């Protein structure tokens, strides 16, 4: 742990945000939007470093082992901090002990998007019917094993009695690119990465997995409405962390800077235009939210008998 004197002079050099996924995905986009705003406020460069691979394990493990001096942060996801700890028997980090929570940055609705040239369906009931009459012929893309884009469609399969083949990628960017290219039929994707393609007509949105319809897509039903399942609800999320042991004064300053950045109209608009919902809040809020999400997804994993691949 660094000394109080270092905490008082922080920041005195550039700060890096480790992103455990490739560039172009939702975790990366969130980190870059937030990092730019925080860098301006802190008057020091905030650099994003993509450390992708192994379900996010590589980047998260590196961040956990970094010096707890306030100069290494991590933008993590629902997959790395809530799902992986309950899906995998052994992971190279402890999500609840190896990190100091800073703030929940955004939640992101998940949408079911299809390539309309590969699947001639207009609604979720039509999609379910197609899956049942074409068993084994539909693939779904994910950002990698264990993330929301893997777990939510697995839960969908369980609840609808259907089957799709999982095609995992190393990040949301390459996954959605292959859906757009027609290499894969469907993806349960965050709006952060799918919105541009939905707006351009290259992808069709069949449903969202939030509790309520989205204001920007009032004609798109929720999965609960489409299936008659009121309890089918899920959103992705991204949050900022530091290695455990980072001085509390630095954590407090970082949390305040996140809140301030998210309240800037330009930052809020950029995130909402991409389909994200700015959240903010202190370390305690994030810690409690993370544990509740771990319990929620543990129940989903057990109910759907999902296994790590």
> Percentage of residues in the chain with pLDDT exceeding 70?
97
Residue-wise pLDDT tens digits, 36-87: 999 999 999 999 999 988 778 999 999 999 999 999 999 999 989 999 999 8
- Name the band, by pLDDT with cuts 50, 70 and 90, for residue 35: very high
User: What pLDDT shows up at residue 99?
Assistant: 98
Mean pLDDT, range 145-173, rounded to an integer: 89
- Output 230 or 123, whichever has higher pLDDT: 123
User: What pLDDT shows up at residue 2?
Assistant: 47
Other residues' Cβ atoms within 10 Å of the Cβ of residue 16: 18
Q: What is the pTM of this model?
A: 0.82
CA dihedral 76, 81, 85, 91 (to 10 degrees): 30
Q: What DSSP letter does each residue of 242-264 carry, written as one string?
A: EETT--HHHHHHHHHHHHHHHHS
Pick the CATH number of 109-227 from 2.60.120.380, 3.40.190.10, 3.40.50.261, 3.40.50.2300: 3.40.190.10
Domain parsing of the chain, residue ranges: 4-107+236-303, 109-227
User: What pLDDT shows up at residue 266?
Assistant: 94
Pick the CATH number of 4-107+236-303 from 3.40.50.300, 3.40.50.150, 1.10.760.10, 3.40.190.150: 3.40.190.150
Question: How far is the C-alpha of 23 from the C-alpha of 106, rounded, in Å?
Answer: 18
User: What pLDDT shows up at residue 1?
Assistant: 44
CB 168 within 8 A of CB 309: yes
Question: How far is the C-alpha of 32 from the C-alpha of 45, rounded, in Å?
Answer: 12
pLDDT at 239 over 50: yes
Strand partners, 115: none
- Output 223 or 143, whichever has higher pLDDT: 223
Alpha helices in the chain (DSSP H): 4-9, 26-42, 57-65, 78, 84-87, 124-133, 148-160, 172-181, 191-200, 223-227, 248-263, 265-273, 283-303
pLDDT at 304 over 80: no
- Name the band, by pLDDT with cuts 50, 70 and 90, for residue 230: confident
Question: How far is the C-alpha of 128 from the C-alpha of 156, rounded, in Å?
Answer: 10
| Fold: same for 4-107+236-303 and 109-227 | yes
């Amino acid at each position: 742990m660094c000394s109080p004197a270092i905490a008082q002079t922080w920041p005195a050099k550039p700060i890096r945000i480790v992103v455990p996924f490739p560039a172009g995905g939702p975790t990366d986009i969130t980190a870059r939007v937030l990092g730019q705003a925080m860098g301006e406020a802190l008057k020091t460069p905030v650099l994003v470093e993509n450390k992708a691979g192994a379900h996010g394990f590589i980047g998260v493990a590196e961040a956990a082992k970094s010096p707890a001096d306030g100069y290494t942060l991590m933008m993590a996801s629902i997959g790395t901090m809530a799902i992986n700890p309950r899906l995998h028997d052994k992971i190279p980090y402890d999500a609840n002990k190896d990190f100091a929570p800073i703030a929940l940055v955004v939640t992101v609705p998940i949408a079911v998007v299809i390539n309309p040239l590969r699947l001639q369906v207009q609604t979720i009931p039509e999609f379910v019917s197609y899956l049942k009459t074409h068993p084994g012929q539909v693939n779904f893309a994910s950002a990698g094993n264990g993330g929301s884009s893997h777990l939510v469609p697995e839960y969908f399969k369980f609840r609808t009695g259907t089957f799709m083949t999982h095609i995992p990628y190393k990040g949301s960017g390459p996954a959605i690119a292959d859906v757009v290219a027609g290499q894969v039929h469907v993806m349960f994707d965050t709006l952060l990465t799918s919105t541009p393609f939905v707006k351009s007509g290259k992808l069709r949105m069949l449903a969202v997995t939030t509790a309520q319809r989205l204001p920007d897509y009032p004609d798109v039903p929720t999965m609960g409405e489409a299936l008659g399942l009121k309890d089918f609800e899920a959103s992705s999320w991204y949050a900022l962390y530091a290695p455990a042991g980072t001085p509390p004064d630095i954590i407090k300053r970082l949390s305040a800077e996140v809140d301030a950045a998210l309240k800037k109209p330009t930052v809020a608009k950029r995130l909402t235009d991409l389909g994200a919902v700015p959240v903010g809040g202190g370390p305690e809020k994030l810690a409690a939210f993370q544990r509740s999400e771990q319990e929620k997804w543990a129940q989903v994993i057990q109910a759907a008998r999902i296994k790590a691949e």
